[in-house]
Chain A
Amino acid sequence: MRALGDLVRWLTDPVNWQGSHGIPVRVLEHIELSAISVVVALLIAMPIALYLGHTGRAGFVAINVANVGRALPSLALLAFGLVIAISLGLGLGFWPTVFALVPLAIPPILTNSYVAVREVDRDIVEAARGMGLSEGQILRSIEVPLGLPLMLAGIRTAAVNVVATATLGALVAGGALGRFIVDGLALQEYDQLMAGALLVALLAVATEVSFAALERATVPAGMRAIS
């Protein structure tokens, strides 16, 4: 019970809400770090997923390769990213963490998007082709809109994973909410540590909820009746 009291006291102390080390700054840093990691993963995974899904080629290979990303330990990637970032002069903290988070975000985006495009009813695609739509038009106006909910589900999984793992950045002198956890441990200030963990968990839940809302909002009108 005392621990809970310490936690509440830490979270309600105005000192912890101010300045460059305060909670609002750390939350924004966390969102920025996570958003950039997911965007980089999207830029890499989406074109591959759409191409492979549309053509139906080499899908298994791509998905299995991407799944290796799930097996790579993020901590090792972080250390590796740190060495690369230092040698490229990108500094500590931010970019090494992005390097560790991107491989974590790619597999769910790639797998879901591939399956989303692949699973669109082939009769619809054939009908569109018969009506004279180009391959690009089929992808844009049929496969992507119909597959969108599944694609967004993949991005949601990726984003939640990234938000929860972005705490690692504090180990390589980054900012974000991991700072509270790492500093709390170093200082043996367990109220700070728990507050950091709680804030990360809340942010992950908020990410989950907002993506769920986004998914509902983007379902094509025609599909809403069915689902």
Chain B
Amino acid sequence: MKRGNKLIGALVAVAVVASACGGTGSGGSTAGTSTATATPTASAVTRPDVIVGSTNFYEQITLGELYSQILEANGYKVTRKFNLGNREIVEPAIESGQIDVDAEYLATLLAFVDKNGTIAKPTTDPKATQIGLQKALDPKGLTVLDYAAATDQNGFVVTQATASSKSLKKLSDLAPIGNTLVLGGPPECPQRPFCQLGLKNTYGITFKDFKPLDSGGPLTIAALDGKQIDVGLLFTSDPSIVAKNFVLLDDDKHLQLADNIAPVVRNALLNKDDGTLARLLDSIGAKLTQAELNDMNKQVAVDKADSKAVAAAWLKKQGLIK
């Protein structure tokens, strides 16, 4: 649902998807064929081949590059299948073995694979959501690795000027002064539990007024910039937060479901590997904070830098590759 709002990403992707899909058929079966023959002993230095996939917007491509490059630097042969489409396309692709690894979002993926919440329901706690997600992924032969601190979920931002003049850092800071501020967000925000309604019930914030805009799009950014609203709803990894120097208010009472970023891997691949792959991917999650992710998103989406180069520079900076 929320992925649909990433208009820029979607537009860029439209052109690329056709070519990406064209190449999907050829290498799809490599992962499954040699499962029985290759014995995963500790002495085996031969690394299994890995197909890294991604959905169709800039953040996913960058995450795919991070995974691909750290694996390549450690002797894995990686095939990239990026820009495949939305989750409706990519999730079945990893289930069926057309890709082996992709970057996912805990709460959203759990709600996707377990639509009625019969196995587990997403919560605001990332650890609990990860455990629930793993239960839902078990019958599909998939494993979710360690999640990062970085999320891509609803976030409330203010301008740097507002933050410093009213000393705002976290959402609970808004409670005493909410009645002097105007909130902006999608038209449905006043009645949504993860938007204005949740801010009222969880944080006790009552705003002076609400201005209907868009779902974390150009109207919200322009309204914040033009001071027509004081607080705006954007996605937590929105590149404009860095580009416009907005301040993302910390969700200190955990209103939002935990959409932390985590790699999802096929068990068939993990069984062929000596544990290095999981360790490498986890090392990325350990360093991927919100600020680090948003900075990369800004470089790719606003500065139009090449996601390959951005990912390589970040891995080097973190000391994850040489």
Contact A186 B186 (CB under 8 A): yes
Pick the contact of B187: A20, A89, A182 (CB < 8 A).
Answer: A182
Chain B residues near A170 (CB-CB < 8 A): 212
Q: A173-B213, A173-B219, A179-B212 are in contact. Are A92 and B226 (CB under 8 A)?
A: yes
**Residues of the A chain whose Cβ atoms lie less than 8 Å from the Cβ of B209:** 20
Q: How far is the CA of A73 from the CA of B187 in the complex (A)?
A: 24
Is A183 a contact of B212 with CB atoms below 8 Å? yes
Tally inter-chain residue pairs, CB-CB below 8 A. 38
Residue on A with the closest CB to B190?
A187
CA distance A160 to B186 in the complex (A): 30
Provided the pairs A172-B219, A173-B212 are in contact, do residues A187 and B226 lie with their beta carbons within 8 angstroms? no
Q: How far is the CA of A170 from the CA of B187 in the complex (A)?
A: 10
Q: A173-B223, A182-B212 are in contact. Are A187 and B228 (CB under 8 A)?
A: no
Which residues does chain B contribute within 8 Å of A182, judged by CB atoms? Answer: 187, 212
Give B188-243 interface residues, CB cut-off 8 Å to A: 188, 191, 209, 211-214, 218-219, 222-223, 225-226, 228
Report A121 CB to chain B, min CB distance, Å.
54
| Pairwise interchain contact A187-B188, C-beta atoms closer than 8 A | yes
- Chain B neighbourhood of A183, CB < 8 A: 187-188, 212
- What is the chain B residue whose CB lies nearest that of A86? B222
Closest-by-CB residue of B relative to A90 is: B226
Assembled-state Cα–Cα distance A187/B196 (Å):
14
Cβ of B191 to closest chain A Cβ, rounded Å: 6
Whole-angstrom CA separation of A179 from B190 in the bound complex: 14
- Chain A residue numbers with a CB within 8 Å of B211 are 173
In the complex, what's the smallest C-beta–C-beta distance from A59 to chain B, in angstroms? 41
- A20 and B228 CA atoms in complex are apart in Å by 15
Q: How far, in angstroms, from A91 to B228 measured CA to CA in the complex?
A: 8
B226 and A89: CB pair below 8 A? yes
Could you tell me the distance between the alpha carbons of A67 and B186 in the complex, rounded to whole angstroms? 36
B218 partner residues in chain A, CB cutoff 8 A: 82
8 Å CB contact of B219 from A92, A179, A187: A92
Name the distance in Å between B33's Cβ and chain A's nearest Cβ.
48
B212 touches A92 (CB 8 A): no
Which of B191, B211, B219 gathers the greatest number of chain A CB atoms within 10 Å? B219
Q: Which residues of the partner chain A approach B191 to less than 8 Å between Cβ atoms?
A: 187
User: Are B223 and A92 in touch, CB under 8 angstroms?
Assistant: yes
Chain B residues, Cβ within 8 Å of A186: 186-188, 212
C-alpha spacing A86/B217, complex, angstroms: 14
The proximity string for A residues 15-29 relative to B, scoring 1 for CB distances below 8 Å and 0 otherwise, is: 000001000000000
Per-position binary interface string of chain A over residues 51-90, scored 1 when its CB falls under 8 Å from any chain B CB and 0 otherwise: 0000000000000000000000000000000100010010
The 8 A CB mask of A152-191 against B (1 = contact, 0 = none) is 0000000000000000001011000001001100110000
- Considering only residues 79-116 of chain A, those with a C-beta below 8 Å from chain B are 82, 86, 89, 91-92
Residues in A with CB closer than 8 Å to B222 are 82, 86, 92
Q: What is the CB-to-nearest-CB distance from B31 to chain A, in angstroms, rounded to a whole number?
A: 42
Shortest distance between the CB of B224 and any CB in chain A (Å): 11
Most buried by A among B184, B186, B211, B222: B222
Residues in B whose Cβ lies below 8 Å from that of A173: 184, 211-214, 219, 223, 228
B246: min CB distance to chain A, Å = 16
Which are the 3 A-B pairs with shortest beta-carbon distances?
A: A186-B187, A183-B187, A186-B188
13 A-B contact pairs sorted by A residue (CB < 8 Å) = A92-B219, A92-B222, A92-B228, A172-B219, A173-B211, A173-B212, A173-B213, A173-B214, A179-B212, A183-B212, A186-B187, A187-B187, A187-B188
Interface residues of A, Cβ cutoff 8 Å to B: 20, 82, 86, 89, 91-92, 170, 172-173, 179, 182-183, 186-187
Other A-B pairs, 20, CB within 8 Å; known A92-B226, A173-B184, A179-B212: A86-B222, A86-B225, A89-B226, A92-B222, A92-B223, A172-B219, A173-B211, A173-B213, A173-B214, A173-B219, A173-B223, A173-B228, A182-B187, A182-B212, A183-B187, A183-B188, A183-B212, A186-B187, A186-B188, A187-B191
